[in-house]
Structure 1
């Protein structure tokens, strides 16, 4: 048999999996989106830590004659979002999106056949905690259990289930669950429960001190510090209010 030439092994293509989040855009103006991101992320420019993203335009409210892809992509990259593709893009934008180096996707699955990560939390006012009797929900039967500490830059996503964390979550780490999140170690990173809209999901922590929390897309950051009533103490997070006036309630858990 003839020997393979050295150049034939300089590149190989193999199947693989990659975690990709969806960014649902309702606006294409880079300046307006930059203002919204600044408010949403509490001024944290490195929140996304270089995560790959698919830009989804299914909720686009207004369709301008053209999209300034250069400005839009540059703005997202300043927030360390790395756009790699678009989905649900009106046809008349397709050619310019390709020229900008973006792939055109169809369907709800990302390339590689894995589910895309849920959309970023939507902004809402930061409410004061409201008194209510805490109710600790039992984890679902098919709960995902993580027994190791999560370090900065690591991400865990529990699809269609609860997430139980037996060790801590460090600053810069992120945990996401379609159900509730139960953290038995220090919660110091970002925790997003009810990621696909489950309004009954909750976040439970035995040592509360996160950077950001979210339930069903309603979020709250703590750039001004953790409230003394729950800081480094057992606490739960749930949705309060109704309709568009929903807000996050953060309250202590009594273990006595």
Structure 2
């Protein structure tokens, strides 16, 4: 019998999209209440996303953090903690003991063997600058300033345009998610989730010829539409922008701008 020439394991560079859980309190009860309010009780709001716990805002003056309780609490809301950002050196051993990596916020979480320590109510979820490969069913063209998608983005698919705008000429269906570090331009219906300014660009915007999203986000500020998109702009050309800490929806129809 001919032996396989393949090694039992291959190591390749791969990046993933994660959620950044930015703590402004170490109190589990406060965090639980904030997440309950944020998700509206929707059990699959986060859909088992990876999470980076950012304690930079409270690390210096916070009491001892119960990492086990915190990890378990996030898992309750289907957030899988994989790393901690903004930790002090004194926190490092306790973080490693929970199986978490330390992230300095530059290019991802460092291996635990050589870790070096490195920001609403209780917790705010934002995407971090990481990338998910485009699914095989999606055709993508990357130009210097944009990623261009010419095929529908279907339920369960996620597209991430790292470091550029995202242009989509077909529908983004319910259950699909499109993410860009820049702006998102959809020349078709937007029915799924759209997250622009994923690396923190508050000037990014979301445009669609037919706006009916499940969720939108600009620079980590979310707005969901559990009660439906505003009826006067539903399925009409519109743009989403960030004004201060508020998500604004503006019509793009000629009549509304006359």
TM category (shorter chain) comes to 0.7 to 0.9
Q: CA deviation at 1:224?
A: 0.9
In the alignment, structure 1 segments of 5+ residues that lack a partner are 114-118, 123-139
Q: Structure 1 pair 167/57, CA: closer, same or farther in 2 (3 Å)?
A: same
Answer with 17-26 or 80-89: which moved more: 17-26
Give the Cα–Cα distance (whole angstroms) in 1 for the partners of residues 106 and 144 of structure 2. 26
The match for 1:179 among 177, 182, 186 is 182
CA contact (8 A) 1:20 1:54 kept: no
Aligned pair 1:229/2:228, yes or no? no
Deviation, structure 1 residue 62: 6.3
Aligned-partner Cα distance in 2 for 1:183–1:254:
15
Distance of 1:95 and 1:61 partners within structure 2: 14
Give the direction of change, closer, same or farther, for the CA distance of 1:158–1:31 in structure 2 (3 Å limit): same
| Post-superposition CA distance 1:143-168 (Å, at most 9, x none) | 11112222233222222221111122
Following TM superposition, by how much is the alpha carbon of 1:41 offset from its aligned partner in structure 2, in angstroms?
2.9
CA contact (8 A) 2:59 2:87 kept: no
In structure 1, the residue matched to 2:93 is 95
* Per-residue deviation, 1:233: 1.7
Q: Residue 20 of structure 1 contacts residue 110 of structure 1 at CA under 8 Å; is this kept in 2?
A: no
- Structure 1 pair 178–68 and aligned structure 2 pair: CA distance change class (3 A): same
* CA gap 1:209/1:12 in 2 versus in 1, 3 angstroms: same
Question: TM-score with structure 2 length normalisation?
Answer: 0.76
Match of 2:11 in 1: 14
Residue 223 of structure 1: how far off its partner (Å): 0.8
Tell me the equivalent position of 2:152.
149
Question: Partners of 1:164 and 1:239 in 2: how far apart?
Answer: 19
User: How far did 1:121 drift?
Assistant: 4.3
Unaligned runs of 5+ in 2: 112-123, 128-142
Give the superposition deviation at 1:141: 5.6
Structure 1 runs of 4+ off > 6 angstroms?
none
Deviation, 1:10, is: 8.6
The equivalent residue for 2:77 is 79
Shift of 1:48: 2.0
Instruction: Give SS of 1:49's match.
Output: coil
In the alignment of these two chains, the number of paired residues is 225
Q: Which has the higher contact order (CA 8 A, sep 6+)?
A: 1
Which of 104, 107, 116 is the matching residue for 1:106? 104
Deviations 1:120-160 (A, max 9, x none): 349xxxxxxxxxxxxxxxxx961111122222332222222
Q: Secondary structure at the match of 2:125?
A: coil
Hey, what's the Cα distance between the residues in 2 that align with 1:74 and 1:101? Answer: 13
1:120 matched to 2:125 = yes
Q: Is the 8 A contact 1:29 1:72 kept in 2?
A: no
- Cα RMSD of the aligned pairs, angstroms, is 2.9
> Structure 1: how far apart are the matches of 2:221 and 2:185?
18
**1:181 to 1:252, Cα distance in 2 relative to 1, 3 A:** same
- Residue 93 to residue 170, structure 1, CA distance change in 2 (3 Å): same
Residue 26 of structure 1 contacts residue 61 of structure 1 at CA under 8 Å; is this kept in 2? Answer: no
> What is aligned with 1:134?
none
